[in-house]
Amino acid sequence: MLNLNGNKFYFFYDDDSSVKIKPDTIEHGYLAILNDEIGVAELVFSKIDSPRAKWACVLISVLNGYMKVFPTYFQIRNFFEIDLDFLLKNEKINYVEQLLGALEIFSSINQEVYKYAARVMYANKLYSAALKYMNKSKQIYYNDAELHFMLAKYYLRVNDYENALFYTNECLKLIPDYYPAHLLKQKIEESWF
């Protein structure tokens, strides 16, 4: 079994100190990424037949700086956000930049990928980056109710009530019964008026 070598890695557990990782598992591959052992990670992932491992092979391709394996729509939808957040939380900034650098290619496969990136940036309090990716997403697919809701939350956070209300209304045009948007609209109106 492998352990986290006393390093403080973020593996989505409250306490990583007792985490034991079996060789040739998904976790082993991700630990290798965190240890900058991309070749080891590639070898581990290539031995595993699972949707997660197939996506991880795409990730390795991106981290190596060239796309020799392309993702599917569902791989991007299911795993992109998780891995971007994982790399960001573990301060693997070079890898984060490489993954973000693949967004244009990924957007030709899954048009929501900029929204996924925005959601990760927002959750990690990187608000200007979140807005940048929300705006890119808006250019690709304007009629995304979730995106408008995210924009409304962003603008409410910066006390731009006019834009917050505008994007809440855009969200409600697309999904009139979206309860969180109604609650947000009420909050905006109470704060603004």
pLDDT digits (tens, 9 = 90+) for 86-126: 999 999 999 999 999 999 999 999 999 999 999 999 999 99
- How far apart CA 26 and CA 92 sit, in angstroms, is 18
Tell me the pLDDT band of 6, cut-offs 50, 70 and 90. low
Tell me the pLDDT band of 19, cut-offs 50, 70 and 90. confident
pLDDT of residue 192: 78
Q: Report whether pLDDT(9) > 70.
A: no
Terminal-residue alpha carbon distance, the chain: 60
- Cα radius of gyration rounded to whole Å, the chain: 19
Q: Report whether pLDDT(3) > 60.
A: no
Nearest partner of 166 among 180, 183, 179, 153, judged by Cα: 153
- How far apart CA 37 and CA 148 sit, in angstroms, is 39
According to DSSP, residue 193 is labeled: -
Which percentage of the chain shows pLDDT scores above 70? Answer: 91
Question: Widest CA span of the chain, in angstroms?
Answer: 60
Q: Report whether pLDDT(2) > 90.
A: no
Q: Report whether pLDDT(12) > 90.
A: no
Nearest partner of 122 among 95, 92, 156, judged by Cα: 156
- How far apart CA 179 and CA 185 sit, in angstroms, is 10
- How far apart CA 45 and CA 24 sit, in angstroms, is 8
What is the tens place of the pLDDT at every residue in 142-172? 999 999 999 999 999 999 999 999 999 999 9
Say if residues 179 and 149 touch (Cβ distance below 8 Å).
no
Q: Report whether pLDDT(7) > 80.
A: no
- How far apart CA 89 and CA 85 sit, in angstroms, is 6
**How many residues are listed for the chain in this entry?**
193
pLDDT of residue 147: 98
Phi/psi for 24 (5° steps) reads 60, 40
